[in-house]
């Protein structure tokens, strides 16, 4: 049961019109963190169902069209910019850094408490990429896991997309991360992905490149260690009680030069890893692949986005309907 307390101060959002935000200040092992909860100003009144969106790496919430789709279905929409990301990033913080995935649990606790205090009865967590890894472990062991009625994972980051010698190099970085967590082993993440989604290149979306830079932020050994061990736990199998929908692109592609083919594949993760580990999340897991989908399915071309919404809301109608009947 969630011990929800109202009274958060909401102000106009700094990134999107028709949204508002509030700061969530939490503690983890005597360390203070600050996250940002965002919600739509015109959320449905007295909505019984709500969704909490959790972003991926080098990311933050900017997908206003996703909020529109949920609100059209009667859901109150919320999004969490985790500490060190997006709206929450402070000048004295290392961008996108953590040393333990569980660092994010208290801010997810606080977000759920706020959503419950706003009156929602049923809660869906919609998480993307690294957020999908975090949300999976939270739904397995988080303080308010019983308040999560459904979990939708958009291209979750279940394994590093590496081959051969790259896997050995990762293990070396993970070992190094124990003693030198702040060493950057990769200065940014050069890829074709940003060029496939931002409208200044080949995409159709606009976002703040100071918060989501084209080449990413430096990747540290400590972060790699935290993610690696979280993935290893997931590979052993989780026991998520709520229904889970794992959705991903039909194909992956690694590329160093531009091709229009990159507008219809996952250029960040290996979708075979998602297929392999998705069934290990719990006893109620459904998998779906989207033809023509990209890494962030919500940013895919229009036909793929339409298919994502159709599959997702059909599934939600089934699982939340069943939950409400129990």
Helix, strand, or coil here: 238? coil
pLDDT value of residue 241: 98
pLDDT at 322 over 80: no
Tell me the CATH class for 11-161+234-325.
alpha beta
State pLDDT tens for residues 105-155: 999 999 999 999 999 999 999 999 999 999 999 999 999 999 999 999 999
pLDDT value of residue 45: 85
Tokens of 38: 């965002």
Query: H or E stretch including 38?
Result: strand 31-40
pLDDT at 5 over 90: no
* pLDDT-above-70 percentage for the chain: 95
pLDDT at 323 over 50: no
Q: Which tops the pLDDT comparison, 104 or 323?
A: 104
pLDDT class for 326, splitting at 50, 70, 90? Answer: very low
Question: How far is 50 from 125, CA to CA, in rounded Å?
Answer: 9
pLDDT value of residue 325: 37
pLDDT value of residue 76: 98
Cβ-contact 245, 152 below 8 angstroms: yes
Section 241-261 average pLDDT: 95
State pLDDT tens for residues 79-113: 999 999 999 999 999 999 999 999 999 999 999 99
Cβ-contact 59, 89 below 8 angstroms: no
Domain boundaries, the chain: 11-161+234-325
Section 220-238 average pLDDT: 98
pLDDT value of residue 187: 65
Q: Which tops the pLDDT comparison, 162 or 321?
A: 162
Between 165-179 and 221-235, two packed helices, what is the crossing angle to 10 degrees? 110
pLDDT at 252 over 80: yes
pLDDT class for 191, splitting at 50, 70, 90? Answer: confident
Q: DSSP string covering 111-143, please? A: HHHHHHHTT-SEEEEEEETHHHHHHHHHHHH-T
pLDDT class for 4, splitting at 50, 70, 90? Answer: very low
């Amino acid at each position: 049961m969630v011990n929800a307390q109202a009274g958060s101060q909401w102000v106009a959002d700094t990134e999107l019109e028709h949204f508002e935000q509030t700061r969530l200040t939490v503690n983890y092992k005597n360390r203070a963190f600050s996250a940002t909860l965002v919600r739509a100003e015109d959320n449905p009144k007295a909505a019984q169902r709500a969704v909490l969106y959790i972003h991926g790496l080098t990311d933050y919430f900017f997908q206003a069209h996703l909020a529109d789709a949920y609100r059209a279905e009667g859901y109150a929409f919320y999004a969490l910019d985790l500490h060190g990301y997006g709206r929450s990033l402070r000048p004295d913080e290392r961008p996108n850094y953590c040393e333990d995935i569980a660092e994010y649990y208290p801010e997810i606790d606080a977000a759920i408490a706020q959503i419950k205090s706003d009156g929602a009865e049923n809660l869906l967590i919609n998480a993307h990429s690294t957020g999908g890894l975090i949300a999976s472990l939270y739904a397995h062991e988080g303080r308010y896991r019983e308040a999560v009625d459904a979990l939708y994972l958009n291209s979750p980051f279940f394994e590093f997309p590496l081959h051969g010698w790259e896997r050995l190099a990762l293990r070396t970085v993970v070992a190094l991360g124990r003693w030198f967590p702040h060493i950057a082993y990769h200065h940014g993440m050069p890829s074709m992905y940003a060029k496939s989604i931002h409208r200044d290149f080949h995409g159709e979306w606009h976002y703040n490149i100071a918060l989501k830079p084209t080449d990413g932020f430096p990747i540290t050994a400590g972060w790699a260690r935290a993610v690696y061990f979280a993935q290893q736990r997931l590979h052993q199998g989780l026991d998520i009680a709520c229904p889970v929908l794992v959705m991903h692109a039909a194909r992956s592609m690694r590329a160093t030069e531009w091709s229009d083919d990159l507008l219809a594949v996952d250029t960040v993760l290996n979708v075979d890893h998602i297929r392999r580990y998705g069934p290990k999340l719990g006893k109620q897991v459904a998998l779906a692949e989207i033809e023509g989908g990209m890494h962030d399915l919500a940013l895919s071309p229009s036909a793929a986005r339409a298919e994502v919404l159709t599959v997702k809301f059909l599934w939600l109608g089934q699982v939340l309907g069943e939950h409400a009947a129990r």
